[in-house]
């Protein structure tokens, strides 16, 4: 079994399929996708969030899976945090409340985008009464409605406020236009038909579990209580049909040709009377929860999330109307080597102790295809911060790992737990775990071996090896020679290797004495980026070297 040492790079390469394709997005450790919408130019909008707090992500993909435009921000866009709706011009309207790290502020942001991502306008809405805005709906002609649990705001298409009204009792959790002057509201356990001043025109009892509404110009369809309900324009009940597999992610999926519903188990097509026919169950992937989809021109874009050891990876894939999916055989195993571990005093009041380790991850390619990229991550425990989960991460691309081969991916010296109290380090033992995610930016077909853990001791009193082992190359970029400094902290003797981006050793030198510096002869190296690995008796360190043209 060959072992290849990789120089890690920051550039991601997303492979695309000629027709059906799949992507496993891992921009952060907690990415999740919730919704998909068809936008102009044959593109798809994928809606979700990249963090454990309430921020949002909109990623618009071309038909071949490449990214057309993306936005990440601090205002929510799904569930109780906000909403994104499709505009008649195939642009997007987003309304959501601000979340500054697990704290919901009292303002909301409303934005309108063109299909190519241009921001047409933005409004910051301070609550008219108590609750911030989290819902949005587009009217049939020239109005937009945005709503909070206790108020509705009416805007024109330029974002100017033209009206609004209070909703007593503050229990609105859904809005939908009936015409350009009448709105359907889900208020408590009832449907309400109201005019532009909030006056009630009709009502009907619906129950507590309303997931979505759709108005087709003749009837109001409602997903509620494990069924599809149908109402007349004045909210007289017309029919109800059971729909299996409904969950909190279920939504109506309108298209030019039909009305569909995504459920936890599959995609259903609705007849005019609301009866549902299963088109296909979602093609299985390990640990996958399908959360949304869009339909256009005989293609389904399905989005969802896999979970491997607590890491949510967003899955985006196109399917045929028969449920056919792109076929892949990506499967990796991860192994962990802990070269050393220790606890050191940082001097921070109240939380003065840090645990660190020198780690190397190994990835074995168990698939039948050559592997070109992978993500390795490790949780970093920081007990006094509440925002994002902190990680040490290697995000690599550009290598070629044949089936059955193994690649070494050194984390180097990383923080395992930062800001610990004395009581937390009284027991010197602890666990280190790493996880392999998104091989070739696809879902792993057998993720049971994607996690590797090791219980180690973190002895007290070792100094800041990470700081002392810092290497420096000057000049960098360099042509014929450069000086490598910082060797004294590694311990003698020091072996220095220069590796290319395939992990091949292209040059070696040794430093026997206790000198701080070593002159490297790089005259024989072609212009490119290399990794310089220096390993002494105490610790190993790395630095990136760019060899320039003479």
Domains with residue ranges and CATH for the chain:
469-547 (2.60.40.3080)
pLDDT of residue 143: 86
338-365 per-position pLDDT tens digit = 988 998 887 666 678 899 999 999 999 9
How far apart are alpha carbons 336 and 339 in whole angstroms? 10
Residue 379 has pLDDT above 60, yes or no: yes
pLDDT of residue 488: 82
Which of helix, strand or coil describes residue 88? coil
Q: Which of 188, 176, 182, 91 is nearest to 149 (CA)?
A: 188
Q: Which of 66, 45, 67 is nearest to 56 (CA)?
A: 45
82-100 per-position pLDDT tens digit = 899 999 888 999 998 887 6
pLDDT of residue 7: 37
pLDDT of residue 387: 64
Per-residue confidence at 427, pLDDT binned at 50, 70, 90? confident
Give me the percent of the chain exceeding a pLDDT of 90. 55
- E strands present in 127-181: 135-138, 143-148, 151-156, 161-166, 172-179
Contact 58, 71 (CB under 8 A): yes
The number of beta carbons lying within 10 Å of the beta carbon of residue 68 is 18
Q: Which of 548, 547, 498, 544 is nearest to 9 (CA)?
A: 544
Q: How many CA atoms lie within 13 A of 426 on its CB side?
A: 4
How far apart are alpha carbons 243 and 86 in whole angstroms? 25
The number of beta carbons lying within 10 Å of the beta carbon of residue 170 is 15
Vertex 259, ends 253 and 265: CA angle to 5°? 60
Long-range pairs for 345-350: beta carbons < 8 A, 24 or more residues apart? 345/461, 346/418, 346/419, 348/419, 350/421
Predicted TM-score (pTM) of the model is 0.79
Q: Residues 284-307: what's their mean pLDDT?
A: 94
Q: Residues 210-221: what's their mean pLDDT?
A: 94
pLDDT of residue 502: 57
pLDDT of residue 386: 58
480-508 per-position pLDDT tens digit = 999 998 888 787 888 888 877 655 778 88
Q: Residues 450-466: what's their mean pLDDT?
A: 75
Contact 440, 418 (CB under 8 A): no
Residue 6 has pLDDT above 60, yes or no: no
Residue 18 has pLDDT above 60, yes or no: no
Long-range pairs for 145-148: beta carbons < 8 A, 24 or more residues apart? 145/175, 145/177, 145/183, 146/95, 146/108, 146/110, 147/172, 147/175, 147/185, 148/108, 148/172
Q: Residues 385-408: what's their mean pLDDT?
A: 84
């Amino acid at each position: 079994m060959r072992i290849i040492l990789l120089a890690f790079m920051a550039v991601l390469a997303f492979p695309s399929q000629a027709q059906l394709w799949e992507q496993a997005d891992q921009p952060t450790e907690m990415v999740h996708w919730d919704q998909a919408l068809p936008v102009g130019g044959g593109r798809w909008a994928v809606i979700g969030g990249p963090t454990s707090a309430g921020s949002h992500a909109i990623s618009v993909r071309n038909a071949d899976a490449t990214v057309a435009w993306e936005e990440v921000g601090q205002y929510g866009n799904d569930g109780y945090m906000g909403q994104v709706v499709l505009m008649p011009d195939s642009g997007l309207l987003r309304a959501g409340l601000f979340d500054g790290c697990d704290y919901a502020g009292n303002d909301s942001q409303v934005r309108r985008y063109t299909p190519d991502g241009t921001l047409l306008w933005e409004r910051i809405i301070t609550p008219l009464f108590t609750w911030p805005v989290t819902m949005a709906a587009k009217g049939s002609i020239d109005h937009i409605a945005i709503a909070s649990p206790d108020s509705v705001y009416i805007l024109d298409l330029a974002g100017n406020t033209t009206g609004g009204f209070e909703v007593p009792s503050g229990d609105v959790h859904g809005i939908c236009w009936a015409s350009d002057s009448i709105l359907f509201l889900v208020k408590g356990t009832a449907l309400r038909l109201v005019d532009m001043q909030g006056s009630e025109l009709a009502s009907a009892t619906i129950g507590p579990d309303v997931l979505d509404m759709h108005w087709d110009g003749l009837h109001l369809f409602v997903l509620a209580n494990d069924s599809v309900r149908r109402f007349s324009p004045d909210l007289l009940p017309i029919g109800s049909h059971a729909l299996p597999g409904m969950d909190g992610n279920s939504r109506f999926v309108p298209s030019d040709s039909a009305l569909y519903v995504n459920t936890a188990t599959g995609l259903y097509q609705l007849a005019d009377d609301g009866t549902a026919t299963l088109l296909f169950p979602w093609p299985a992937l390990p640990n996958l929860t399908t959360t949304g989809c869009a339909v256009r021109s005989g293609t389904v874009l399905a989005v969802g999330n896999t979970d491997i050891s607590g890491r949510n990876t967003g899955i985006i894939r196109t399917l045929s109307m028969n449920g056919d999916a792109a076929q892949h055989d990506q499967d990796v195993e991860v192994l962990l080597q802990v070269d050393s571990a220790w606890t050191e005093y940082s001097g921070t009041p109240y939380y003065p102790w840090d645990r660190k380790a020198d780690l190397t991850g190994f990835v074995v390619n168990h698939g039948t295809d050559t592997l070109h990229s992978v993500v390795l991550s490790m949780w970093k425990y920081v007990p006094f911060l509440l925002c994002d989960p902190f990680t040490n991460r290697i995000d690599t691309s550009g290598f070629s790992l044949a089936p059955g081969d193994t690649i070494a991916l050194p984390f180097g010296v990383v923080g395992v737990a930062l800001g610990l109290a004395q009581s937390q380090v009284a027991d010197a033992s602890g666990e280190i775990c790493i996880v392999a995610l998104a091989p070739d930016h696809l879902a792993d077909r057998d993720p049971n071996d994607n996690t590797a853990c090791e219980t180690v001791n973190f002895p007290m009193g070792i100094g800041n090896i990470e700081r002392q082992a810092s290497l420096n190359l000057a000049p960098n970029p360099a042509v014929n020679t450069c000086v490598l400094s910082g060797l004294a902290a590694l311990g003698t003797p020091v072996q220095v290797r220069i590796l290319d981006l395939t992990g091949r050793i292209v040059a070696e030198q040794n430093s026997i004495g206790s000198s701080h510096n070593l002159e490297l002869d790089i005259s024989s190296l072609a212009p490119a980026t290399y990794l310089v690995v220096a390993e002494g008796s105490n610790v190993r360190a790395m630095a990136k070297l760019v060899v320039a043209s003479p």
